[in-house]
């Protein structure tokens, strides 16, 4: 199928209804039916179960239990770096924020303000900063971890569409990551200043969850929902789990100007793994 037709179908499909149906099926504890679905998925996408804490496919109570499975201890050693990769996946784009614009794909840009739900003051903290867009395919490990130490200050749920976030759609749908439903997590680092991790929803992604909140599922409105944590010190260390996707999606990270120099090997479409060096502070 051509890229143009694929993108056209993305506009025509009932994405919310498909996602709700997929989420319902993925949560079913249907015994042998779930196991057959899991076995098909592992074969179809080449999932490496030797890395899972529990490689026994028949032991998972539902497809979501399987999909959000933890890794076995030691499967992802952490590099000695100021910033580590927070996920398994592939680089969509990374580099400098051009004033306040982020590169999505050739010919497509969006602004930091659009990404964080219209908060101009928050977006201004990352003017001329750095960004990284990382895509998680269906075969990848789907828990999300911290690139560096950070204290959570805010979480914002931004309602939106549910386009697929695969590379074809990223090339064909403008403002994709600032258009889809997303959860914006704002952190403060003593060493690196503020940084943001944006968990972007997509077609068939049943839900997005964080370790401090659980599934982020406010009432469906057109306005963002926000949580602040003035009386809680939610301090997560580098490598700690911070959230998870139920089915594949994308994470977008923002860093302030002068806080990170990316790994020289980080280029678009390169596969990445949790724990590898993402970058260091400028010397």
**Which of 9, 14, 2, 6 shows the shortest CA–CA distance to 204?**
14
Question: Which one of 130, 164, 249, 259 is the catalytic residue?
Answer: 249
Beta bridge partners of 24: none
Residue pair 172/178 in contact by the 8 Å Cβ criterion: no
Active site residue 145: yes
Residue in 145, 189, 192, 207 annotated catalytic: 145
CA–CA separation, 103 and 136 (whole Å): 18
The residues, ordered by sequence, that sit 6+ positions from 226 with a Cβ below 8 Å of its Cβ are 154, 155, 156, 157
User: Active site residue: 82, 88, 140, 149, which one?
Assistant: 88
Task: Say whether 249 is catalytic.
Answer: yes
Cα 161 to Cα 202: distance, rounded to the nearest angstrom: 8
Residue positions annotated with a catalytic role: 88, 145, 249
């Amino acid at each position: 199928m051509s890229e143009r037709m694929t993108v056209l179908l993305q506009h025509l499909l009932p994405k919310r209804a498909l996602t709700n149906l997929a989420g319902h099926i993925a949560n079913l504890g249907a015994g042998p039916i779930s196991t057959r679905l899991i076995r098909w998925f592992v074969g179809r996408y080449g999932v490496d179960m030797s890395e899972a804490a529990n490689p026994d496919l028949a032991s998972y109570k539902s497809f979501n239990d399987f999909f959000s499975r933890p890794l076995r201890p030691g499967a992802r050693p952490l590099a000695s770096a100021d910033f580590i990769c927070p996920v398994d996946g592939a680089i969509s784009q990374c580099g400098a924020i051009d004033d306040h614009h982020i590169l999505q794909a050739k010919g497509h840009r969006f602004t930091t303000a659009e990404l964080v739900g219209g908060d101009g003051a928050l977006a201004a903290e990352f003017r001329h900063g750095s960004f990284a867009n990382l895509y998680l395919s269906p075969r990848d490990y789907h828990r999300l971890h911290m690139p560096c130490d950070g204290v959570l200050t805010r979480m914002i749920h931004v309602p939106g569409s549910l386009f697929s976030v695969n590379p074809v759609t990223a090339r064909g749908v403008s403002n994709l990551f600032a258009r889809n439903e997303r959860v914006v997590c704002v952190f403060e680092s003593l060493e690196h200043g503020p940084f943001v991790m944006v968990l972007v929803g997509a077609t068939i992604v049943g839900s997005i969850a964080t370790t401090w909140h659980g599934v982020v599922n406010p009432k469906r409105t057109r306005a963002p929902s926000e949580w602040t944590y003035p009386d809680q010190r939610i301090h997560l260390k580098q490598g700690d789990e911070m959230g998870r996707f139920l089915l594949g999606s994308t994470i977008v990270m923002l860093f302030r100007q002068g806080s990170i120099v990316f790994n020289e090997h980080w280029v678009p479409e390169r596969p990445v793994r949790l724990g590898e060096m993402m970058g260091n502070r400028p010397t």
